[in-house]
Amino acid sequence: MKLATRLWLLGALLPGAVMLGALLLAGQAFRAALESSLDQALLAQAAAESVSLFDRPDGPHLHMAESPLLDAVRPFAPTGELYDDTGALVAHFPPAPHPLDRPAPPLDGPTRELSTLESPAGRVRALVVRLSSGDGRRWSLRLSASMAQLDASVRAFHVVAISFALGAGAILLVLQLLLARRLSRRLARLSEHLERVKAGRLDVAPDADPGGDEVADLRQVLADATEQLKRARAVQDRLVADAAHELRTPLTLMLTSLDLALRRERTPDELRAALTEAREEVDRLAALSTHLLDLAAVGRSWDVAEGDLHALLDEAAEAARAQAEVSGVLLEVQGPSPAPARFSALALRQAVDNLVSNALRFAPRGSTVTLEVRRAGAAWQLHVVDRGPGIPADQREAVFAPFHRLDRRGGSGLGLAIVAEVLRQHGGRAFVESATAPGAHLVLELPDVSP
């Protein structure tokens, strides 16, 4: 079932049917209330008459027939008949002619009895009261009230209620049809946009939606997601192009070296030199492919847990101690201990190792590379500082782009890109601090999400 059909079915037809059923039930309750009021009026009239039936010496009589308001109440006043123990009609109201011609009620039965009777004039509600006079004679008093006015009131209620229900249902139906049509158009535009995205067209944003409701929010989410996909595809295209370029260079050098080696007879030393150059390019390709795999694997199946950032720096420094000794550089770890936080120890350690490796590559002999953990408001910062040539101010953002290298002294150009991606997956960032002293000052900042 389509959404538009569901809207007008559940938003108009079903509420209208429920409202109509409720009004019909209300009509039945209204009838029951009117009948109860009529029964109470008959009982009150019977109570008044039964007290004064035998207050005259000339015999029993109905006081309602002698009321000074007789003409005023005649259209709606109940009729009355008084029968003696022989079944003879002794008194009645209205005086003459009596509109009802019914047999006397039997003397045997309950003290009072209510029933609905059919007559030529229509349905009537009848109350029979059985009583005794002072001399022991038994009498029957029957009061009857026409139900025509009650039936007319209930019919009027039904007409008004059903008309109201049908009118309200028609209005709801029209409103729901308009709403469903509008909502269908809005959702159709979003579906068209998703089809464009599915086909790879990320250059067109979804149509504007001024609705200001959940559909408009969904449109905004789709617009943001489309823009992110567009940027991601641009980054991916650039990464593929850069990777192809980086892979082509060593392959070209290898091909050239091998072609030269095969062009003429070579001495063992010349062949060894050619193979050594090819082996160096193979190592470069292997390192490049490893970094590409590392970059692609960032964020997959991370085990995020409580850890100590200071301990992580200690481990990174200990692991790089041998390389530091070869380079003649001292490694120093500073900052508070412990420094508790939630992070992926494997991923964050890889990011720190990349920074330490770069620092050792550029740090001059006899200098110190400092690893420090600092508290920065609601975040933790890991600082790696060396005393090398530093990073120019105009390249402090570009160094985190894939394949960006400050010089050609080794490296794949992916190390800092992996660092930036690791921090982004942690909800943090990697950046270059403005240095007041010579050297490079790189910072890893991640939010403190520890309990």
274 and 341 co-located in one domain: no
- Residues 120 and 252 occupy one common structural domain: no
In order of 60, 92, 126, 131, 150, the CA distances from 52 in angstroms are 8, 14, 20, 12, 29
The pLDDT value given to residue 158:
86
CATH of the domain at 101: 3.30.450
CB 133 within 8 A of CB 54: yes
Q: Which of 313, 348, 341 is nearest to 421 (CA)?
A: 348
200, part of any domain: no
Pick the last residue of a domain from 296, 328, 354. 296
Residues 315 and 439 placed together within one structural domain of the fold: yes
Give the type of residue at 289. S
In this predicted model, which residue has the larger pLDDT, 213 or 70? 213
Q: Are strands 138-146 and 89-93 parallel, antiparallel or unpaired?
A: unpaired
How confident is the model at residue 408, as a pLDDT?
42
> So what's the pLDDT on residue 297?
56
Domain's final residue, options 296, 330, 347 = 296
Query: Which is nearest to 367 in space by CA: 397, 331, 419?
Result: 331
DSSP string computed for 57-120: TT----GGGG-TTHHHHTTTSPEEEEE-TTS-EEEEESSSS-S---PPPPSSS-SEEEEEEEET
State both tokens at 256. Answer: 């050239």
Average pLDDT of 132-142?
83
pLDDT in tens, 153-196: 888 988 888 888 788 777 877 887 788 788 788 888 888 888 88
Amino acid 156 reads A
Residue 196: inside a domain, yes or no?
Answer: no
| DSSP string over 246-268 | HHHHHHHHHHHHHHHHHHS---H
CATH number at residue 264: 1.10.287.130
pLDDT of 439 over the 80 cut: yes
Percent of the chain beyond pLDDT 90?
8
My answer on whether omega of the bond before 338 falls inside 30° of 0, hence cis, is yes
Residues 212-268 pLDDT 10s: 777 788 888 888 888 887 776 766 666 566 566 556 666 777 777 777 777 777 778
Full domain range(s) for residue 253: 214-296
Tell me whether residue 201 is in a domain. no
As a whole number of angstroms, the distance between CA 191 and CA 304 comes to 37
Q: Please answer whether residues 78 and 42 qualify as being in contact, where contact means their C-beta atoms are separated by less than 8 angstroms.
A: yes
Residues 6+ away with beta carbon under 8 Å from 59: 90
Task: Report yes or no: 349 and 315 within 8 Å, Cβ to Cβ.
Answer: yes
Check whether 271 has a pLDDT greater than 80: no
Sign of torsion over alpha carbons 15, 21, 27, 30: negative
* Structure confidence at residue 329 as a pLDDT band (50, 70, 90): very high
Q: Are residues 221 and 286 in the same domain?
A: yes
pLDDT tens, residue by residue, 394-423: 777 777 776 656 654 445 566 677 788 888
Give the pLDDT of residue 409.
46
Per-residue confidence at 370, pLDDT binned at 50, 70, 90? very high
Q: What is the mean pLDDT of the chain?
A: 78
Q: Shortest CA distance to 387 belongs to which of 437, 439, 441, 331? A: 439
Is the model's pLDDT at 383 over the cut of 90?
yes
Residue 263: the pLDDT is: 76
